[in-house]
Amino acid sequence: MVFGCSLFSILANKFGLKWILVFGTLGYAPYSASLYVNNRYGTEWFVLFGGATCGIAASALWATEGAIALGYADVKDRGKFTGIWLGLRELGQLIGSSIQLSLNVRDGARGKVGYNTYLVLIALQCLGLPLSLLISPPQKVIHSDGRKVPDPTKNKAVLKEFRKWWALLRTKQFYLLIPILVGFNWNGTYQGIYLTKYFSVRARALGALTSGISATAANVFWGWFYDLKVFSRPTLAKITWILFSISMLALFGWQVANEKLYSEAVPKVTLDWAQPGFGRGFAVNVLFRFMNESHYMFVYWILGTFFDDIETLTLAVGLMRSFESIGSCLSFGIGAAKVQPMVNLIIAFVMFGVTVPSTFAAVYLVPGRPVNVRKLEDDGSSVEASDVGDVDKPTLLPAVAADAGRTGSV
């Protein structure tokens, strides 16, 4: 996915978002099938094969779904659109975890979930293909003010799109976000280890359900918050990142205290909702899930504040997903190396700390209105890589002002 997300974003601008999205639905069911076979029969090679098919398909899906959510929405509605999209993404987890909890509700001990759980996931994932065929192409989108989205595939050459992808990578707005893209979700690997090591089967199933609920709550709240007209976009960006930084540092401190307590306990801890002290260990996991999803919302919204045209947004989402995949690859690699959970947690803590200053620098670059890079190119304006998203540059002001006047919101 490190390479695939960017590659498929380039191909999406050539062949269309819809068909790359359709391709992206094909690799998930084989992965869930491999988990079923591993759970029931202990087969391991199929899991690696399924992981590869899932990675290839997810590269296409991740690159296109985010571009659709951001690019189809008008600027003033991008918070809501992003919240709805990420909320729908959680719907599968809510349904699957509800069934998983019902199948494992009587198991208060450690162990693994029943293999029937995976049959439900396979069935849900098989619905992705027919549903993706119902997606409309961008050129059929009509905004509330009557403005249409141009066909992004017209006169597109793959090599030309690659050059634009490379120019986008070199913008200061994007490379300042690289640390948060790599490091913000690093703790997800530790959270999986934490639940498996210290919680009963039914508590883990409850954790999956409440994680989906908390993530959905984050999507709904931030989708509303980011579209507020009370604050300007630059002010919203600063407020949000200050809140995130304080909250995450506090959560990491809480989690370190929990890990030390449980790892040193004799006899070994198995947390279950029928036992005292369950809330302390369980609540921090739910809050981490809320904050991780909040970070998803934040980075997508930030991209939407910098760029307005769907072609640039598609390339930006692909790049974002590529760097996120680097973080996932490294964090899961450390988890697979079987280091001590406390070491894994401390690494995640440090990784988040590294993201704080660079992201602060990025939020100070958030403009009052995003730039339509393609419109600038069509108008013959020169766009340097370092200028994208900078509304203070004289060459960008005419296009930005015209774009703002057309939509009626600045």
**What percent of the chain lies above the pLDDT cut of 70?**
84
Joined together, the tokens standing for residue 193 give: 């280890």
Residue 385 has pLDDT above 50, yes or no: no
Model confidence band, residue 71 (pLDDT cutoffs 50, 70, 90): confident
For 318-336, the pLDDT digits (tens) are 888 899 889 888 888 887 8
Residue 163 has pLDDT above 60, yes or no: yes
Between 378 and 391, residue with greater pLDDT: 378
339, part of any domain: yes
404, part of any domain: no
398, part of any domain: no
394, part of any domain: no
Model confidence band, residue 114 (pLDDT cutoffs 50, 70, 90): low
Residue 269 has pLDDT above 50, yes or no: yes
408, part of any domain: no
Question: What's the structural domain count of the chain?
Answer: 1
**CATH value at residue 165:** 1.20.1250.20
User: What are the start-end ranges of the H helices in 137-228?
Assistant: 158-169, 172-175, 178-183, 187-198, 201-226
Per-residue model confidence (pLDDT) at position 229: 81
Q: From residue 85, how far is each of 81, 160, 396 by CA, in Å? A: 6, 30, 31
For 273-316, the pLDDT digits (tens) are 888 888 888 999 899 999 998 988 898 888 888 887 788 888 88
Supply the range of the domain harboring residue 242. 3-380
Q: How many CA atoms lie within 13 A of 92 on its CB side?
A: 15
Over its C-alpha atoms, the chain yields an Rg (Å, rounded) of 22
181, part of any domain: yes
194, part of any domain: yes
Q: Phi first, then psi: what are they for 307, rounded to 5°?
A: -130, 145
114, part of any domain: yes
